[in-house]
Amino acid sequence: MITFLPAVPGRLADVPAFTRAIGGAESNVACVLAAAGHRAAWVSRVGADGFGDHLVAAVAAYGVDTSAVARDPGRPTGVYFRTATDRAASGHEVAYYRAGSAASAMSPDTVPYALVSRTRVLHLSGITAALSADCLALLRHLMLPRAGRPLISFDVNHRPKLWRDADAGPVLLGLARGADLVFVGEDEAETAWGITGPDAIRAALPEPGTLVVKQGAAGAVAYVRDPGRATDSVVFVPAPTVDVVAPVGAGDAFAAGYLSAALRDLPTRDRLRHGHLTAAAALTVPGDLGTPPDRDRADRLAAIDDDSWERLRLGPGWTSAVDEEVRTP
């Protein structure tokens, strides 16, 4: 969808101008993965309008394959406006204009399984499930157990304003149980499911082979099922200190960083560290998408000792700075 970023802080009623950008959970992940050197494709539906033209061109400019993005002549490209505050803050506002959008018309008929099955990882989001009954049916169809199914990565991405006419909790929990890898924020698990704490979230979601619980500025913990052990391998990695410019897009960037490291078979600790680094790239720019650090640099930072990692501080421009310019408190 098209994202409109506020020119100044304040209520939506008071913001005089907005800057056009692109946004969307799955497209954000695809863009970051492509920028990190992976082959990524985005499958979606946009309107046959100027916003759709811009969106497809902007995503493709990251190196993402957009050949399977359909154009809908009868429905518009979705848009949304937001304030500059943290999504979790009481004053945060977001105005979605996605009802009847081209993306909301996706279904098992418009996105056949064969179109997305020829890949190592299929990344899905709870946001898409909220757009319409047909979109929810599509996600359930793609997540059906079947021979040769790619690894299903699912980001819960609970957005209450998109679920006005439905109870999001049971739907999102059911989808998460059908995935192989799940990303969920500790705060959204409490909101959607009334569950508090990573261990309780894992108890409610025993099915995925890997569960990653994001704990905001504190860090993230991964529960990884080991067939050779009776219990999960549990790995916690604290987040580096970040000088935040805009607290939007970090969750999608984290998922992309984790997936990038997973695609390279890096250990769990490094997957979490790469997730934190790509999240920091998003947090230090105004829009939803930040340019990730190049792979060699990200690998060097992910490999530093624990003490140096915990002293790491990342600010605006850090992805293009030399290592010596990354500040430590």
Q: Annotated catalytic residue: which of 252, 265, 306, 323?
A: 252
CA distance 243 to 93: 22
219 torsion bin: left (phi>0), alpha (psi -120 to 50), beta (else): left
Is 323 in the active site?
no
- Select from 212, 219, 157 the least CA-distant residue to 180: 212
Structure tokens at 114: 């064969």
SS (H, E, C) 213-227: EECHHHEEEEEECCC
Residues 6+ apart with CB under 8 A from 314: 240, 241, 242, 243, 277, 280, 284, 326, 327
Residue with tokens 């999504």: 87
Structure tokens at 117: 């099955």
| Axis-axis angle for helices 133-142, 168-177 (nearest 10) | 20
Residues 6+ apart with CB under 8 A from 203: none
Cα angle, residue 293 at apex, residues 292 and 297 outer, rounded to 5°: 155
User: Cα–chain-centroid distance for residue 114?
Assistant: 23
Give catalytic residues, as residue numbers.
252
